[in-house]
Structure 1
Amino acid sequence: MRKADRHLMIRQIVTEQTVRTQEELLQLLEKQGVTATQATISRDIRDMKIVKIPDETGQTKFVLFQGQHVSDNEKAEEQRLVQMIEEVVTKIDRVQFMTLIHTIPDNAPLLAAAIDDVSMPEKVCSLAGFDTVAVISRTEEDAEAFFNFIETHAVL
């Protein structure tokens, strides 16, 4: 199956059903005759900008990122980052030249990808775990500026 067709099916599944895990998404795809690996689904989720948000019961579920469409790609990526910060960040810490961003469970890799997509001189790289992103800066001043950017947009 072509990637574009698989993305269309994933979009339909995530929009019409409650999907909480990648394994669940894989099973739903298999029911429709699509065979894919977990790694492929993980890439698809990132490519399609699918995020996890809490539902009315407090459990997380996959949703399509609802960022605004902006003609300038860089502004669109920054807007996407800002919206993700608003939706998934739960706590922020700074230790010297590192900013630690805590997220709702299973959203750190998605946030790190959004951070990496935005060109910012204050960051060198990001590392993501399950619910924490570590952003490394060259200097403490850069780390403070990056921390302030995240703090400005986080709904804590």
Structure 2
Amino acid sequence: MRKADRHLLIRQIITEHTVRTQEELLQQLEVQGVSATQATISRDIRDLKIVKVPDESGQTKFVIFQGMQASEDEKEEEQRLIQMIEDVVTKVDRVQFMTLIHTVADNAPLLSAAIDEVTMPEKVCSLAGFDTVAVISRSDEDAETFYQFIRNHAVL
């Protein structure tokens, strides 16, 4: 199956079914006659901007990120970042020149990429783990400004 066709099928599965894990997504694909590896599914999830969000019961499930599409226009990139902050940030801490952003499980890499797309003088770079993004600033003052930006947009 072509990548584009697989992506279309994954979007359909995520939209029509509650999918909580990559394993469940693999099983749903197999039901549709599509065999894929876990690595392929991981790349597809990143490419399709699928994120995990809590449902009514507090358990996480996959959804298609509803933020604005990436654009070269800086304002649109910032709006996309703000939407993502609202959707996935669970906690924010600051330690000297670093801002630590905690996310819903498995969303840190996507948030880190969104942060890196936006030009902000307060940040040098970001590093992502599974559910935490570390943003490095040049000074404590820059880190405080960036920390306040995240706090102002996060739904904590």
Q: How far apart, in 2, do the equivalents of 1:71 and 1:136 lie?
A: 24
Larger displacement relative to structure 2 (110-119 or 57-66):
110-119
Deviation at residue 155 of structure 1 after TM alignment: 1.4
Aligned pairs for 1:1-156 within 5 A: 1-68=1-68, 73-156=73-156
Distance 1:70 1:21 in 2: 26
- CA RMSD in angstroms comes to 2.0
Per-residue Cα deviation, 1:108-144 (whole angstroms, up to 9, x for no partner): 2222222223232322222222221111122222212
- Give the length in aligned residue pairs: 156
**How far apart are 1:68 and its partner, in Å?**
4.1
What is the percent sequence identity of the aligned residues? 80
Code of the residue aligned with 1:144 in structure 2: it is E
TM-score, normalised by the number of residues in structure 2 = 0.88
How many angstroms does 1:71 deviate by? Answer: 7.1
**Could you list the runs of 5+ residues in structure 1 that have no partner in the other structure?**
none
1-structure distance, mates of 2:75, 2:88 = 20
Q: Provide closer, same or farther for how the CA distance between residues 30 and 124 of structure 1 changes in structure 2, counting only shifts above 3 A.
A: farther
Q: SS of 1:33's equivalent?
A: coil
| Alpha-carbon spacing, 1:36–1:119, altered in 2? closer, same or farther (3 Å) | farther
